[in-house]
Amino acid sequence: MEALADGREPMEAMLDYLRKAKAKVVPVTGLNRYAEYNAAVKKAVDQDGRGFCMRLQESDLASDDLGKQLSAALKFFELTANKVDLLVDFGQVIAPRSTVVPLINTIPSLKDWRTFTLSACSFPVDMSGVAQYSTVELPRDEWTNWTHVRSRADKLDRMPTFSDYTINHPEPSDIDPRKMRMSGNIRYTSTLTYVVAKGEAFPRKKDKDKKAERAEQYPQLAEAIMAHKAWCGPTFSWGDAYIKKCANKGCVGGGTEWRAVGTSHHLAFVAKQLASLP
């Protein structure tokens, strides 16, 4: 990656900015990051004293010398495993249930890491597969896979903490707004599914006669979420309160606001889900 105008590596610049904002962050790296990136992480490790997170992907787990690579990383950062968070991130790949436990057990010294987390995402990259003005349910495969792993905890060297990408896909969409218009949608997490209420494509700026459509469709979508059996009520989270307010035509919001609404509900829902497990 190219350096910024002031010569700094982008990761170093971002960590400097967060430090000035008094945000306590833990930098993340992987086994194949470039030297300048790791140098920026090493600087933060030395300066902040919070260790770092090692992110492994499925291809890393298949490596014959994973143990040597992890040992080399710890040596470079001058830390022991108990100062490092280990994240196994499958990204948009939902690994077959039969393979997850054996893959986890291939990780050397699994009990030594500060934390151990398993992450994946089944949320689609876009809503093109959902019909306009419909409400559908999409499977939360990352949750069902993790609960499957949990049911086999006795076969694991260490049980991983649950992680997901909330209501987002791991990779940003390559939609060209000049050719394809985004559609209004509300994303709402349920026990085993994501409930998605989708509207229609937003009008282009030149379509002045259709500007009212945006103001009309979100209250309608909010009503669809509230009518669904997954609705948790307006007091469940900040996002749920926003949905009710919008259904009463008290707000409209744009894509950014509605992504925040869905994320608010998702975080509250998953926290409650995890807390209710035996």
Q: What is the pLDDT of residue 65?
A: 93
* pTM for the full predicted model: 0.88
Q: What is the pLDDT of residue 208?
A: 53
Q: What is the pLDDT of residue 255?
A: 80
Q: How many CB atoms lie within 10 A of CB 160?
A: 22
Residue 237, amino acid? S
Domains defined along the chain, listed by start:
1-120 (3.40.50), 126-138+175-278 (no CATH)
- With beta carbons less than 8 A apart as the criterion, state whether 77 and 85 touch: no
Dmax (CA) for the chain in angstroms is 64
- With beta carbons less than 8 A apart as the criterion, state whether 160 and 104 touch: yes
From residue 128, how far is each of 17, 191, 196, 201 by CA, in Å? 37, 23, 12, 11
- With beta carbons less than 8 A apart as the criterion, state whether 190 and 144 touch: no
Helix axes 238-247, 255-275, angle to 10 degrees: 130
Sign of CA dihedral 229, 245, 268, 278: negative
Per-residue pLDDT of the chain (278 residues; tens, 9 = 90+): 677 888 889 999 999 999 999 999 999 999 999 999 999 999 999 999 999 999 999 999 989 999 999 999 999 999 999 999 999 999 998 888 888 999 999 999 999 999 999 999 999 988 888 999 899 999 999 999 999 999 999 999 999 999 999 999 988 765 555 555 678 899 999 999 999 999 887 665 555 555 445 567 899 999 999 999 999 999 999 999 999 999 998 787 778 899 999 999 999 999 999 999 98
Angstrom distance (rounded) from CA 16 to CA 75: 24
Which region, left, alpha or beta, applies to residue 101 given φ > 0 means left and ψ of -120 to 50 means alpha? alpha
Residue 192, amino acid? L
